[in-house]
Amino acid sequence: MNQMRRLLRLAPGFLAASVRRDWPLAALALLCLAPGVAALVAWLQIAWRVRDLSYSAAQFGWILPPALLSAVTPAGVLVGTGLVTLLVGCLGLSNAYLASVERRLDDLALLLNLGLSRLELTALLLLEAMGLALLGTAVGILLGLGLSVVSWLPARDYLGLEPGFRLSLEPFIIAALTALLATLLFVGVTGISTGLRPLTVMGHQPRKHWMRDWGQWRFSTLGILFTAALTALLGILAVGWRAGIALTLLALALALALNAGSGLLTRFYWRLPASDSRPLWALAVQGLARHRRQTTGLTLAMTAGAMGVGLAALGWVGGDVPATFPLWVAAMLLVACASLVLTASALAALERRQELGLLAALGARRGRVRRLILLENGIVAVAGGALGAALAVVLWWLVGSGAAQITGLAVVVIALLDVLAALASAWIGALPVLWLISRQPPAASLRDQPWLTG
């Protein structure tokens, strides 16, 4: 009881100090989490309407093979795509929160040395994560209501639903609970695992791990496990035990494949040739190698987004039914990817603000600094987009539905447009960061004056 009273006394001051120091986290919670929650709400509303209906494999075969589609069900596909969009947003918010916790490691260690227990510190960090979750979920629910309205007609035509738009209460409740749980898992648990490091952090001693490079891939491992758990919970609640388990296995396989592909691409970036005659390219390659977590997350999002857009485009060109609704689904995934690009670009620029300020002070034009950031994002977008487009074409070929109606040239054009869409989303997502950099005087950057943290 005494510990609870002390925690209640400490919480307001701790949260107030966090808001003053890292107020952009609230903005990032809206930008990252709200689109994912909105997509989950809208697609759950439609899944609630179609979960008891039967559809032919010819109509949906471009998404999954008939046998797998029968196991997952079309409602499960809608639930899965909504969850993927939400998880992309959680990934961006998790990166931002981890950066915030890492900047405060000395302060957190000081609190522990002054008598704060690890349990109390865990509770304070969870309160932070819960505040972000509530903020992003509330705005996402409102956006999801609007998205449900505007996407109703394309969904009705594509799925052959009966006329008459109506909303169900259950999808709102399920989406809110899933968003809160996803934020606590991806943001809270990973943040706590970083914040509760040994007290030797005050001496800046490196943390030892039982396996080499564990610190670099443990977040990917946790992400895969959290994805499987969330998919199982959401699938069982929305489409039942049988389809929920099938959807979980499919999500686990895709998560493993996408994480492996993004990890390989990230290592490929580090091995890109850097020539002294192209200093901007060399700086871009060094930047990608330095910020491994952001680079890996950004590659994962670009790959997933390009794969979704490619499948939707192939279904639109070669399908026998109006396929504009899958383009809505893919568009929301691209919005989530753009928000992740914004987060990753902001964090990379924040960590390198002194380096960028030194370049400007030495005579580098602001346009050159902006081109550096665009080049870094462009490398990731082209590589991740190409991998996602290739996966979409392979899945389309394996399914075989509608392949006869599309020529090889059309497939190549769709794949190229898919890569360009990934590149456009990456550059659009980086625009706010470029604007902030253009307003920051070089002297302020050299003094380590923060421009993203207030």
pLDDT single digits (tens) 310-345: 877 877 776 655 567 877 888 888 788 777 777 777
Sequence letter at residue 2: N
Q: What angle do CA 25, 29, 32 make, to 5 degrees?
A: 125
Closest CA to 311 of 190, 392, 408, 194: 392
**439 within some domain:** yes
Neighbours of 307 (CB within 10 A): 28
Average pLDDT (48-63) is 67
Provide the pLDDT for residue 42.
Answer: 93
Closest CA to 171 of 144, 150, 152, 151: 144
CA-CA distance, 352 to 360, in Å (whole number)? Answer: 12
Sequence letter at residue 110: L
Residue 192 CA, distance from chain mean position: 19
More confidently predicted of 416 and 354: 416
116-125 pLDDT tens trace: 777 777 788 8
pLDDT-wise least confident of 215-219, 293-297, 417-421: 215-219
**41 within some domain:** yes
Number of domains in the chain: 1
Provide the pLDDT for residue 89.
Answer: 83
Tokens 């190549």 belong to 412
**453 within some domain:** no
Tokens matching residue 346: 């902001």
CA-CA distance, 43 to 202, in Å (whole number)? Answer: 47
**454 within some domain:** no
Residue 260 pLDDT exceeds 70: yes
pLDDT-wise least confident of 153-167, 194-208, 356-370: 194-208
**13 within some domain:** yes
pLDDT-wise least confident of 96-110, 152-166, 294-308: 96-110
**193 within some domain:** yes
**258 within some domain:** yes
- Cβ 124 vs Cβ 11: under 8 Å: yes
- Cβ 356 vs Cβ 437: under 8 Å: yes
- Spell out a b/e string for 203-241, using b for 16 or more CB atoms within 10 Å of the CB, else e: eeeeeeeeeeeeeeeebbebbbebbbebbbbbbbbbbee
- Cβ 295 vs Cβ 387: under 8 Å: no
- Spell out a b/e string for 111-132, using b for 16 or more CB atoms within 10 Å of the CB, else e: bbeeebeeebbbbbbbbbbebb
- Return the SS3 of 164: coil
**451 within some domain:** no
pLDDT-wise least confident of 170-174, 196-200, 280-284: 196-200
In the DSSP assignment, the letter for residue 254 is: H
- Cβ 39 vs Cβ 87: under 8 Å: no
Domain region containing 225: 2-446
Provide the pLDDT for residue 198.
Answer: 45
Mean pLDDT score across all residues of the chain:
76
CA-CA distance, 273 to 411, in Å (whole number)? Answer: 31
Tokens matching residue 307: 């794969």
More confidently predicted of 71 and 41: 41
